[in-house]
Amino acid sequence: MHEHSVSRSVFAVTLLSAISLSSPLLASTETGIASIYSGEPTANGEYAHVHALTAAHRTLPFGTKVKVTNIGNGQSVIVRINDRGPYIKGRIIDLTPAGAKAIGFSGLARVQVAVVSGRSA
């Protein structure tokens, strides 16, 4: 019976690990291209204001805060996800102009995105 308990425990840990690694909130980081957007309604009903520190991400829940680091210069900013996108291959996040300026780019940049907090109320 002891072997059966150990087998179930190993299975449970393996299953939880697989679920955790596949969850976008628990993934450690993503690396890819960031682009800039603003001046349009967002998927959560807000507006993409030029001066707001918000962003679009394909899968992270609205309200999630992420740290975006420009790999080229090491500068980083924390932004809140409030929209969906980008939908261009290779791009992983759309930043408002304020977010892009905070990390020192004005077109496209190679970035690392890391979740710093889940959805806020």
Instruction: Please give the pLDDT value at position 52.
Output: 94
Annotated domain spans of the chain? 28-117
Instruction: Please give the pLDDT value at position 119.
Output: 64
Architecture of domain 28-117: Beta Barrel (2.40)
Sign (positive or negative) of CA dihedral 44, 78, 28, 55 = positive
DSSP-derived 3-state class of residue 116: strand
pLDDT averaged over consecutive 10-residue blocks of the chain (121 residues)? 49 40 58 91 88 95 97 97 93 96 96 87 46
The model carries a pTM of 0.74
